């Protein structure tokens, strides 16, 4: 990818997602999108803009406010041979449809002895930082990753947004594609042609030898900023962007940890029971003799997401707190001032 | 569709097949030869038979926790059904699903469901696919009176109406949800009263009369096929056995008298009387059907018993569809 | 309740208070002085005012994402409301909830809600508590046309009917859910058609006519107080601003003509004309009310701006109720 | 407790739960129970038997099949000053009501600036082993424990079933009480008087020095059986019954791990993202220098729960597999045969 970057055009994260859908819908008649305001309005975040104009209302469907029926629509249509994309406006709303997602979509194939195939993509938007308060800011991926039968991707760059969406649309399993609300406008290199970023493959976005920093979604940028600061302190962090959180590319993580001997996991979700716990558990198991310090975790505290910008700034991990967490894992003192 | 003699005979056979399968399953359960929960359809045969006789193999149905009758009516294979109830490798779900998840996607039976109302949105999704493909197929949702109180039903019914989908909603109103009577859980007597709130036509039909169910279903299916959208059929029926298992008498939640009253309207007896009166099928003819089906059931039990358990390694298969290796 | 002159004046004042609060909030948002989302109630004032004028302080209401109007109508304090919208420590929620979670439990306002339909079961629970205590209080659910399509609404409405609870369901039918018109999301024109499916009486009322809303609500509340169970009021109304924020003209999803048409029926203009005609309140009198309320709003803005942000340590408080340390 | 045990009468786990409710309902008029078939029928597992006869239909309410409205009924009634107990028949069904549980009940107090108080108890029945298949056998506590604002208890004995239910009924927060279906008939000593087992306090049910085994719910019995086997091999396991999974009594766990230097976590839930991950992450952090081996985990594999008894026996952890997991953590070979 690095090579092509320079040549390729830049596109925003949200537009890259939209382009993946559009190009795939041109290729495959069985793909359609359905959800609240995704049709005529193009989605409240603009992620579905232009699809109804190009593909018509049957392939770009405005639905009632009915998250359970929206996911069920996708399940039934998938079992019947289509490749549905159903949108749940905010990640917080997966809780409204959790039965259809976790009891139905995730389990049908297994319960049916392998008979059903569910090429279903559930798209949603997660993450805090918009003063959207406790019901519009959550990062609930840990709940989804605990459900056998689902795959979950959380891209952190426009390039991966397009490539992973293509991969989800081509996958024959229920996948959940989680956009980060605050990344939608972020620009980056995105090839115009159709390409796929494989599900389940992490990306080492910055090489280093002092400590491994594992993250995904918007926290990758914050981790890279933290890495820059630490570089100024003579510490080279290796930053890994998981890109996919289920299945987890634990091999890449463990290999890095065995080299750096120290590792910190960073995510927006609350710390208790977050993905950092699973990663820490697997790393201490796979790299026990290599670790010079406990696996560190930088995550949100165990509280709902507050509305107040002042409180939310305290809540969401940022480069500063990530740097502090890394220093702790390295046993370094905070720099003066 | 017209009610020809062939239709009458077909309805009878479907009901007899359900009845014998369920009676056998009940017996096996009493002998502790079936693992897990068992929700029997005995008493309600006319609903599944009447509806499925109005469908083609391309049409789909979604079912409930009480799903054997629906699968048998849609043409389910006794051997694979019995094997599934016994958790054998030869079962419809390789022993992974059991009674509550039995299905046959090839027959358009999209599965029983352990979650009340869980199958409703799924059938609506299949209906969407039918409209999308323009294949003229129709999907039918079977659901209980109790299920009409759950959110997933409401959302899916409205979705079908809003998107004008070829779906038929068939409410099996047997007056109880588990051990709680209908009047405790809703302030209406007829579940069909909900149809107007979705902008769907709705009818009430005698769920013990297979012919009446067939006629109502045929009309609703024809409407859906013609592109005129979803409709709602409420069948008044009754389960002859307990919510799960077979125990019947001396229950606290419903009187023996009430049960006896309904049993006088056994859907199979009613149709056999009509068949005899119409000279379509006399007692001997009916007995022959019963005998033939009974033999098939015995064979299915033997098949299931001789079938192997799933290999323990099967535990890990089919969680995901592996690219290349198809579904 | 009887429509006395006092009631008319009261309805007017409640609407004017809502209008000024919302216009001010909109202005502040345009100036980027409010964080987060903002769903304005402008145009729908007659619904909240008419309903809340029929309630006592002991009665509860549950609200939606569009909740400021409901709180103002229930007697909300401008200072604490404005401070909450500005995320200040002096706000109703100490700055933790904001517009979408604003509430005043002391006034029986059980909270705005960020989840469409999320507040409906909660109000039904409050209604259950009222019946349980036999305190004669009534709870009112405000919900939109779009919310009537979500499962939680359906379950809670049926629950209220099944348990015969003192609850009033008030549907604010403004013809849109965000950017999608009603006819795309349901096959019915009148949401009240759903009432029959729950066995509740229902009426349609002109949601731009505060007096009509008051009369319909009074009747429904009286019925609930008398122990005659829940009922359903559908108010036909319209929001004058965009789904969120204030932008109005040149929208793709609804025409400027449609908006202009509805604006000719501004609920405040309508009532002021009636007040003048009835000689209850002339133009000067009305202007005086506006002036007084406008001053209170300015004071509230000043109060909010002078209020401190929550202390960062507040992030960790109130996740749980600590035994001993009360709520 | 040990002292009283001998004198006290024995009672089944389900009956102990029922007694806690009955005794508390006699003491506190504001307590009522609502749910599907809990009234006249006394609950499908008999846990609510006799309550409607004694307290009447207003305090023992049969509801429609409406999990969202059932939980919402409890939330609204709690905010209005009652102390509701709402039952969700199977733990799998919390997914149907997840919005009301996690977006509403858990967050109201915080979002309202502390105003609301929710003395709400949600009861449910979890666990596998009854050939109930994928939608009636799950252990989903990890999802609940990831939600700030909830407390979650999972008793493993009749004594704790009564004491923890009393504690839940007295708690002013939303609590989730998870019965284990297969423990309902299990008998054990239960004092007749009202007593409370504090929420958040683990119980060392077997002292030992070779390895710490942490579990909860039905897996405690299986862990004790495994401990017996290992005792036969000269290995003394310290077995800890967490009893409460949120908040977690990590101090007791860490103190034990620091003594034994080895620890294994056991639960019925699937391994990936289960509570064992959080415990492993916290223990490796708090006891890093004390551990002679990675924190071990014995849990269900990453698949839905199968119907077949043969497959389910492979799926659910048992004494044998727990013993194997413990031996691995101890670096011991499997005994011959
Ligand atoms: C969401 C959910 N809630 C509760 C149950 C438990 N349950 C299984 S069947 C049943 C009764 C269903 O009643 P109805 O829909 O009338 O169908 P019937 O059993 O009468 O055929 C209940 C409550 C469930 N399986 N799923
Ligand atoms: C469960 C859920 N789905 C979707 C949304 C996003 N959303 C917020 S307001 C809204 C429209 C609601 O329409 P309606 O109920 O008619 O209320 P109105 O905005 O018209 O007052 C939607 C879809 C949400 N907040 N919650
Ligand atoms: Mg029923
Ligand atoms: Mg609306």
Strand order across the C202-206 sheet = C60-62, C139-144, C167-173, C231-236, C202-206
Confidence of residue C6 (pLDDT cuts 50, 70, 90): very high
User: How many residue pairs bridge chain A and chain D with CB atoms within 8 Å of each other?
Assistant: 141
Interface test with C, best of D69, D82, D172 (most C CBs within 10 A): D69
Interface test with C, best of B120, B161, B177, B187 (most C CBs within 10 A): B187
- Residue ranges of E strands in chain B: 60-62, 139-144, 167-173, 176-177, 180-181, 202-206, 231-236
| pLDDT value at residue D6 | 56
B37 CB neighbours in chain D (<8 A) are: 132, 136
Are A135 and C112 spatial neighbours (Cβ–Cβ below 8 Å)?
Answer: no
C103–chain D Cβ distance below 8 A for any pair: yes
In this prediction the ipTM stands at 0.98
C162–chain B Cβ distance below 8 A for any pair: yes
DSSP state of B72: H
A311·C95 Cβ contact <8 A: yes
D111·C111 Cβ contact <8 A: yes
Confidence of residue A3 (pLDDT cuts 50, 70, 90): very low
Measured from the CB, is residue B179 less than 6 Å from ligand 1? no
Q: What values do phi and psi take at A121, rounded to 5?
A: -115, 120
User: How does DSSP assign B82-112, residue by residue?
Assistant: HHHHTT-TTSTTTTSS-GGG--BGGGTB---
C183–chain A Cβ distance below 8 A for any pair: no
Report the candidate in C148, D16, C252 with the shortest Cα–Cα distance to residue B194: C148
Please tell me the distance between residue D128's alpha carbon and the centre of ligand 1 in angstroms: 19
What distance in Å separates residue B67's CA from the closest CA in chain D?
A: 15
Query: What are the pLDDT digits (tens) for C155-212?
Result: 999 999 999 999 999 999 999 999 999 999 999 999 999 999 999 999 999 999 999 9
Query: What are the pLDDT digits (tens) for B240-256?
Result: 999 999 987 888 899 99
| pLDDT value at residue D1 | 43
| pLDDT value at residue C247 | 85
Q: Residue A130 burial by CB count (10 A; 0-12/13-18/19+): exposed, middle or buried?
A: middle
Q: Which of A136, A151, A181, A297 is catalytic?
A: A136
Q: Around Cβ A329, how many Cβ atoms within 10 Å?
A: 23
Tell me which chains share at least 3 CB pairs under 8 Å with chain A: B, C, D
Interface test with A, best of D113, D143, D273 (most A CBs within 10 A): D273
Q: What values do phi and psi take at D294, rounded to 5?
A: -60, 150
D307·B319 Cβ contact <8 A: no
C132·D58 Cβ contact <8 A: yes
pLDDT surpasses 60 at A213: yes
What distance in Å separates residue A33's CA from the closest CA in chain B?
A: 12
Tally the C-alpha atoms within 13 A of residue C288's C-alpha that lie toward its C-beta.
Answer: 6
Average pLDDT, rounded, for chain A: 97
Query: What are the pLDDT digits (tens) for B307-318?
Result: 999 999 999 999
pLDDT surpasses 90 at C229: yes
D118 CB neighbours in chain C (<8 A) are: 321
Tell me which chains share at least 3 CB pairs under 8 Å with chain B: A, C, D
For ligand 1, atom 21, name the residue with the nearest CA: B144
Distance CA D286, CA D280 (A): 10
Cα distances (angstroms) measured from residue B313 to each of C200, D185, D196, D297, D310: 55, 32, 45, 21, 10
B163–chain C Cβ distance below 8 A for any pair: no
- Among B120, B146, B176, B240, residue to substitute to test ligand 1 (most atoms within 8 Å of Cβ): B146
| pLDDT value at residue C325 | 46
C186·B164 Cβ contact <8 A: no
pLDDT surpasses 80 at A215: yes
Instruction: Give the pLDDT mean for B285-297.
Output: 98
Q: Residue C325 burial by CB count (10 A; 0-12/13-18/19+): exposed, middle or buried?
A: exposed
Q: Which of D109, D136, D151, D179 is catalytic?
A: D136
- Among B43, B62, B65, residue to substitute to test ligand 1 (most atoms within 8 Å of Cβ): B65
Chain D residue at shortest CA distance from B178: D37
What distance in Å separates residue A336's CA from the closest CA in chain B?
A: 52
Query: What are the pLDDT digits (tens) for D52-86?
Result: 999 999 999 999 999 999 999 999 999 999 999 99
| pLDDT value at residue A221 | 98
Please tell me the distance between residue B273's alpha carbon and the centre of ligand 3 in angstroms: 27
Q: What is the 3-state secondary structure (H, E, C) of C263-306?
A: HCCCHHHHHHHHHHHCCCCCHHHHHHHHHHHHHHHHHHHHHHHH
Please tell me the distance between residue C177's alpha carbon and the centre of ligand 4 in angstroms: 4
Helix (DSSP H) and strand (DSSP E) numbers for chain A: 13, 14
What distance in Å separates residue B321's CA from the closest CA in chain C?
A: 31
- Among D66, D89, D91, D95, residue to substitute to test ligand 1 (most atoms within 8 Å of Cβ): D89
| pLDDT value at residue B327 | 36
| pLDDT value at residue C243 | 96
C180·A40 Cβ contact <8 A: yes
Per the model's pLDDT, the better-predicted residue between B252 and B173 turns out to be: B173
3-state secondary structure of B62: strand
Are A140 and A92 spatial neighbours (Cβ–Cβ below 8 Å)?
Answer: yes
pLDDT < 70 regions, chain D: 1-6
pTM confidence score: 0.98
pLDDT surpasses 50 at A140: yes
Q: Around Cβ A173, how many Cβ atoms within 10 Å?
A: 24
Sequence-distant contacts of B254-258: CB under 8 A, at least 24 apart: B254/B176, B254/B181
∠ CA A12-A13-A19, rounded to 5°: 85
Instruction: Give the pLDDT mean for A159-164.
Output: 98
| pLDDT value at residue C248 | 79
Which residues 111-130 of B are in CB contact (within 8 Å) with D? 113-118
Query: What are the pLDDT digits (tens) for B177-220?
Result: 999 999 999 999 999 999 999 999 999 999 999 999 999 999 99
* Measured torsion, CA atoms of residues B87, B89, B95, B96, in degrees rounded to the nearest 10: 150
Chain D residue at shortest CA distance from A305: D111
Pairing of strands B231-236, B202-206: parallel
Chain A residue at shortest CA distance from C180: A37
pLDDT surpasses 50 at B277: yes
Distance CA C276, CA D239 (A): 81
Q: Of C95, C252, C319, which is closest to A308 when you measure between CB atoms? A: C95
Confidence of residue C324 (pLDDT cuts 50, 70, 90): low
* Residue A136 among the catalytic residues: yes
Interface test with B, best of C120, C147, C151 (most B CBs within 10 A): C151
Chain D residue at shortest CA distance from C150: D68
What distance in Å separates residue A124's CA from the closest CA in chain B?
A: 19
Please tell me the distance between residue B144's alpha carbon and the centre of ligand 3 in angstroms: 5
Instruction: Give the pLDDT mean for B281-296.
Output: 98
For ligand 1, atom 8, name the residue with the nearest CA: B116
With a CB cutoff of 8 Å and minimum separation 6, the contacts of D42 are D48, D49, D50, D51, D52
Are B110 and A118 spatial neighbours (Cβ–Cβ below 8 Å)?
Answer: no
Distance CA C261, CA A269 (A): 47
- Among C64, C66, C177, residue to substitute to test ligand 2 (most atoms within 8 Å of Cβ): C177
Cα distances (angstroms) measured from residue D120 to each of A15, C125, C287, D63: 45, 12, 48, 17
B94·A109 Cβ contact <8 A: no
Pairing of strands A187-189, A175-180: unpaired
Cβ-count burial A244-271 (b if 16+ within 10 Å, e if not): bbbbbbbebbbbbbbebbbbbbbbbbbb
Please tell me the distance between residue C3's alpha carbon and the centre of ligand 4 in angstroms: 28
| pLDDT value at residue A121 | 98
Q: What is the 3-state secondary structure (H, E, C) of A84-113?
A: EEEEECCHHHHHCCHHHHHHHHCCHHHHCC
Confidence of residue B324 (pLDDT cuts 50, 70, 90): low
3-state secondary structure of C240: coil
């Amino acid at each position: 990818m690095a090579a092509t970057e320079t040549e390729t055009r830049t596109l925003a994260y949200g537009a890259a997602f939209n382009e993946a859908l559009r190009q795939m819908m041109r290729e495959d008649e069985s793909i359609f999108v359905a959800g609240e305001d995704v049709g005529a309005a193009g989605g409240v975040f603009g992620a579905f803009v232009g699809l109804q104009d190009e593909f018509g209302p049957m392939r770009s469907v405005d639905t009632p406010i009915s998250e359970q029926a929206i996911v069920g629509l996708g399940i039934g249509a998938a079992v019947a041979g289509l490749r549905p994309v159903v949108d749940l406006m905010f990640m917080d709303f997966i809780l409204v449809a959790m039965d259809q997602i976790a009891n139905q979509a995730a389990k049908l194939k297994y319960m049916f002895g392998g008979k059903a195939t569910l090429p279903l993509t559930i798209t949603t938007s997660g993450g805090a930082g918009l003063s959207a308060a406790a019901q519009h800011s959550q990062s609930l991926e840990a709940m989804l990753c605990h459900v056998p039968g689902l795959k979950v991707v959380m891209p952190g760059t426009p390039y991966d947004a397009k490539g992973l969406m293509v991969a989800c649309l081509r996958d024959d399993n229920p996948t959940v594609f989680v956009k980060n609300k605050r990344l939608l406008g972020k620009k980056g290199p995105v090839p115009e042609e159709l390409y796929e970023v494989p599900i389940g493959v992490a990306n080492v976005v910055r090489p280093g030898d002092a400590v491994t920093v594992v993250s995904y979604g918007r926290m990758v940028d914050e981790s890279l900023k933290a890495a820059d600061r630490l570089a100024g302190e003579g510490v080279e962090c290796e930053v890994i962007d998981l890109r996919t959180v289920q299945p987890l590319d634990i091999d890449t993580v463990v290999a890095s940890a065995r080299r750096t001997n120290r590792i910190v996991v960073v995510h927006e979700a609350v710390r208790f029971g977050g993905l950092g716990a699973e990663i820490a558990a697997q790393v201490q198991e796979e790299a026990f003799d290599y670790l010079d310090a406990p696996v560190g975790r930088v995550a949100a505290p165990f509280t709902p997401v507050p509305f107040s910008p002042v409180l939310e700034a305290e809540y969401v991990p940022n480069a500063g707190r990530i740097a502090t967490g890394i220093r702790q894992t390295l046993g370094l003192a905070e720099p003066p001032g | 569709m017209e009610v020809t003699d062939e239709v009458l005979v077909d309805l009878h056979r479907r009901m007899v097949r359900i009845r014998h399968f369920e009676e056998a399953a009940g017996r096996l359960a009493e002998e502790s030869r079936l693992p897990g929960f068992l929700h029997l359809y005995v008493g309600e045969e006319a609903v599944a038979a009447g509806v499925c006789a109005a469908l083609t193999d391309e049409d789909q149905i979604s079912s409930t926790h009480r799903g054997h009758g629906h699968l048998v009516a849609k043409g389910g294979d006794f051997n694979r059904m019995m094997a599934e109830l016994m958790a054998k490798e030869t079962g419809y779900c390789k022993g992974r699903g059991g009674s509550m998840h039995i299905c046959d996607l090839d027959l358009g039976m999209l599965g029983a469901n352990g979650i009340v109302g869980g199958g409703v949105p799924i059938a609506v999704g299949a209906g969407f696919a039918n409209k999308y493909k323009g294949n003229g197929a129709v999907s039918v949702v079977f659901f209980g009176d109790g299920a009409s109180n759950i959110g997933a039903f409401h959302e899916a019914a409205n979705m079908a109406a809003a998107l004008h989908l070829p779906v038929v909603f068939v409410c099996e109103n047997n007056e109880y949800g588990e051990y709680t009577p209908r009047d405790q859980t809703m302030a209406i007597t007829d579940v069909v009263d909900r149809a107007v709130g979705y902008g769907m036509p709705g009818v009430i039909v005698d769920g013990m009369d297979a012919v009446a169910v067939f006629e109502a279903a045929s009309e609703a299916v024809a409407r859906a096929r013609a592109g005129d959208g979803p409709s709602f059929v409420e069948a008044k029926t009754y389960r002859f056995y307990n919510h799960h298992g077979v125990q019947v008498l001396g229950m606290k939640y419903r009187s023996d008298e009430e049960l006896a009253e309904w049993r006088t309207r056994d859907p199979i007896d009613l149709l056999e009387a009509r068949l005899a009166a119409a000279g379509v099928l006399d007692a001997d003819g009916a007995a022959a059907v019963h005998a033939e089906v009974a033999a098939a059931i015995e064979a299915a039990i033997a098949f299931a018993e001789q079938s192997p358990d799933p290999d323990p390694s099967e535990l890990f298969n089919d969680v995901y569809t592996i690219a290349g290796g198809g579904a």
